[in-house]
Structure 1
Amino acid sequence: MHVQNWDDYRFVAVLARTGSLAETSRLLGVDRSTVQRRVKALETRLGYSLFLRNGSHYEPLAEAQPILAAARSLESAISTAPAPADGETLAGNLSITTTDSIYMSGVSEMIDAFQALHPSLRLNLSVTTRRLALDQLEADVAIRPSDSPPDHFIGRRVCDLAFGVFASHSYVAQNAGLRRDEHAWLTVSDDMSNSPPGRWIDAHVPKDRRVLRADTFIAIAEACRLGRGVALLPKSYAARLPELVALDHLMDAPHATGLWLLTHPDMRNNPRVRAFLDFIGRQLSTRKKHFAG
């Protein structure tokens, strides 16, 4: 039996163990549709069904047993593989990518603390908003905001990343009482239009009120700080800019996406990658409230 993507075994194994899409998605840090797609993809390649669905419960069929045996062997091998402790010596290169606003929201200090624990490790940091290319191994690890990252990456949603509307004190003083559609808006450029904040802007801000567009939140926040208009920004980054004030009344409801730790399946057992994911995952988990606003 040949299966092109061995990571699909993991989805089958967890679903068989829990019997629930909701619990499987929670444990694996993905949404339910991702679990369904991965299991369906494996069933399609095999040519037969692996589960009997009874309401919301998934019962593995007899045909699934060889798959489950292989999946359990893989899980066992992964769980018993040694992972370096925080103080253990690691050497070599580790490539990390994140966005500018995430990096400047506290992740820079986390990465610095990790490198202090592993001074022999050389870090290559890419701070960019461009589309992830982990599938081409351009980076070993990504710390990225996303509603639903691509299926061929693995990782987990660590916490929510909340957004809010902000403006400078001077702008607010000069434009008090304006409706949302009367403000001057500083927004993301076309290459970020399909991001969660880009979709919020498209749904709530008239095009003729968008006076500046930029491809990074750092640039948008700087124009906001200078009083050019209002902007939708990550709350974790805006909190570091004392010149800005929150304008929550311009939002109909809270807006958030997920903050994810991602890697390529081929890299997940690399000692450098595992050490970084474990360390940064713990750090982010302790600061969930900071990122969730």
Structure 2
Amino acid sequence: MAGSGKLGWGDLHVLHAVASTGSLSQAAALLGTSHPTVFRRIQAIEQTLGATLFERSRQGYRATAAAAELLELAEHIAQRLNDMSAPAAHGAVGGTVLLSTTETMLPTVLPPVLARLRESAPGILVALDIADGLANLQRREADVALRAGGQPPDDLVGRVVCGIETAVYRPAAWRPVDEARLAAVPWVCLDDGFAHLASLQWLKQRGLLARAAARCNSTVAVMRLAEQGMGLAVLPCYLGDASPALRRVLPPQPQFRSGLWLLSHASTRGVARIGAVLEALGDGLRRQADLFEGRRPWPEP
């Protein structure tokens, strides 16, 4: 309670109501209390924290930067309470889930998974963020993330859905290229922003970057250019093997191997909408394990 030097859910509930409505009168109506009571509660909370939480103007009450963390916590608690009551009250799971992933998941693997999720849980809105899934999840700007790589940080929980294999591909219109001729043909490569990747290090060590006809900051762009005949490309098998315009030159290289992680925060365990998305993603992606792990190559014509 505000006078004791500690805040409870009641205090957060008041802050959330004022921030969401921008008005003491509307917040009071939402809370089932009076305008003066809400005013006194805000004053007491600000006194306890020693910070101004709202700017007052003719336009209403607007939260300050000092209130941001408290409001984030209030929103999280409100959503958790809603998740816990919604299934019992309505028999369905609903709400928004922020899914952070990479653009490489979109051309082939994610659309059918999200379509099946929509059929099983039509009340869930999936908000896709095509960015750095791990960083977004750690900053709590996402609820769920798909990430290729090794063991995630301790503050995240998750599991490896399947392995990811990577191979060298040529345009299907080209004649076969053997390993001895790799340096004799053009390449399409990622740029130095991806210098940490084993595949780009492999290209650099072999001197193949010098044969680049184009370099990109997008793996999907590399694939599209290779499909158009611009050169060889190193691609994950779930992109290369799914494209009828590409053919393998080399089998999957062990040094490129990684895992597909499905990640979330430990604090979201038990949240119905997030659990539903995790279950749908895990099941749908495991169904495509042969594609991810390089066991479904396109046959040579």
Q: TM-score, normalised by structure 2?
A: 0.61
* Ranges in structure 1 where 5+ consecutive residues have no aligned partner: 1-80
Asked if 2 retains the 8 angstrom alpha-carbon contact of 1:147 and 1:196, the reply is no
- 1:1-293 matches, within 5 Å, as 89-128=92-131, 132-172=135-175, 179-248=181-250, 253=254, 255-293=256-294
Alpha-carbon offset, residue 190 of structure 1:
2.4
How far apart are 1:191 and its partner, in Å?
2.4
State the SS of the aligned residue for 1:201: helix
- Partners of 1:195 and 1:107 lie apart in 2 by 23
Query: Are the aligned partners of 1:92 and 1:120 in contact in 2 as well (CA < 8 Å)?
Result: yes
Q: Counterparts of 2:210 and 2:92 in 1: how far apart (Å)?
A: 56
Which deviates more from structure 2 when the two are superposed, residues 159-168 or residues 178-187? 178-187
Aligned-partner Cα distance in 1 for 2:149–2:234: 16
Q: CA deviation at 1:194?
A: 1.3
Q: CA deviation at 1:176?
A: 6.8
State, as a whole percentage, how many aligned pairs show the same letter: 24
- Structure whose CA Rg is larger: 2
Distance 2:282 2:102 in 1: 17
Query: How many residues are paired up?
Result: 210
Distance, in Å, in 1 between the alignment partners of 2:132 and 2:219 is 9
Partner of 1:30: none
Q: Counterparts of 1:243 and 1:131 in 2: how far apart (Å)?
A: 31
Give the secondary structure class of the aligned counterpart of 2:109. helix
**1:204 Cα deviation (Å)?**
3.8
Distance 1:252 1:181, change over 3 A: farther
Question: Following superposition, which runs of at least 4 residues in structure 1 exceed 4 angstroms of deviation?
Answer: 175-178, 251-254
Contact 2:160 / 2:259 at 8 angstroms: preserved in 1?
yes
Q: Is the 8 A contact 2:133 2:146 kept in 1?
A: no
Inter-CA distance 196–154: structure 2 relative to 1 (3 Å threshold): farther
Per-residue deviation, residues 8-44 of structure 1 (Å, max 9, x unmatched): xxxxxxxxxxxxxxxxxxxxxxxxxxxxxxxxxxxxx
Amino acid at match of 2:261: W
| Cα separation, 1, equivalents of 2:204 and 2:153 | 23
Name the aligned partner's letter for residue 164 of structure 1: A
- 1:271 is displaced (CA, Å) by 1.6
Residue type of the alignment partner of 1:214? C
Contact 2:198/2:255, CA 8 A, preserved across alignment: no
